[in-house]
Chains A and B, each alone.
Chain A
Amino acid sequence: MTKEFEDLKEVLKKAPTPEAMKEAAEAFKRYRIVELAKGKASKPTLVSLGYKKRYPHAVPLDKMPEELATNPEFFELMGRIVREKE
């Protein structure tokens, strides 16, 4: 696992305070820089099949830092996604 993704996971373990959310946004930006350097698909987008959620059904990865920084529900969803692998 890259250090950048490890850092992101650590931040997402925190409660969704404004500080933690900003920290997660920065951590995701650093992770994306590493992934983009590998040559990724043209417009990768995280999608979900939730109904009436307080986060969008589709979040382009380049918009994820913004969503992480401003949306506590999305921050928590991302926390659940990365936490499951432990």
Chain B
Amino acid sequence: MPTVLAMADFDLPTRSASGFMLRYIAPRVEPIQLLGVLVRRLPFRLSAPQSDIIIGVGHGDVDVFTGQNEAIILEVGKYDPREVKGKVIKLLSCQTGVELGPDLVKNGAASVLAYVDDYVWVVDADLASTPWSDKMAATSLMPVVDGLNALLDGKTAKEALNIELEGYSRNAKVEKDELVKACLEFNRSNAILIGDGGASIRARPSLALPFKLIPPPPLLMPV
């Protein structure tokens, strides 16, 4: 079954978060990958039912997850349950764990990994075209990547969440900048798992050697 990897990339936060997905997650999963202008409702609606895992990066609120330019992708009560039934879903977005996550599980999702408050981190805006090289952003986003890789290795949703939480704790312990540290602890305390903690997906092959060594080309930036 394919992976739906939806990566909005129209502003600094989405470009930073999706940049890490492009660098570390996209090369390991087969299409379907929705990037940039493709992160809209129709492509998502067509691709989601075929997948066993949905990974979404975009802006969100308690009852909604959005894609490119804040196009609505999933909203409480406004999607077909076939889009989410039996799937493991990870939403890197603000507050979707409050209402949307429980609604997705109620409509058949196996498990949802999300956040109950804002997802915040500090980026270096000068690295916006190569976000994966931003070490400050990596303190927060690499734990997310590690959790996702655990899922793609066939580990359970609960194990993946624990790996993400451990990553925040480990990075916070050595972080010197108090604001960055506060963000890590904030994200750690807001990450939740809804649904079946034992849910897992078919393991994918690990990242091939060339992708381990070579980052993607720089992202095109709006003029």
Contact = CB atoms under 8 A, between A and B. Distances in A.
Interface of A: 1-2, 5, 31, 35, 38, 40-53, 57-58, 60-61, 77, 80-82, 84-85
Given A5-B178, A35-B177, A49 B119 contact: yes
Interface of B: 11-14, 16-17, 57-61, 64, 66, 70, 92-95, 117-126, 134-136, 176-179, 181-183, 185-186, 189-190
Which among A43, A49, A52 has the greatest number of chain B C-beta atoms within 10 A?
A49
Contacts of B14: 49
A42 B95 contact: no
Contacts of A41: 124, 126, 134-136
B126 A50 contact: no
A84 B123 contact: no
Nearest to A38: B176
Given A41-B136, A42-B126, A47 B59 contact: no
Contacts of A38: 176-177
Contacts of B70: 51-52
Contacts of A40: 177
A49 B91 CA distance: 11
Contacts of A50: 59-61, 94-95, 118
Nearest to A32: B179
Contacts of B177: 35, 38, 40
Contact of A45 (B59, B66, B123): B123
Nearest to A5: B178
Contacts of A80: 117-118, 186
B181 A51 contact: no
Contacts of B16: 47
A27 B220 CA distance: 37
A48 B124 contact: no
Nearest to B92: A49
Contact of A47 (B13, B57, B61, B66): B13
Which among B92, B119, B123, B179 has the greatest number of chain A C-beta atoms within 10 A?
B179
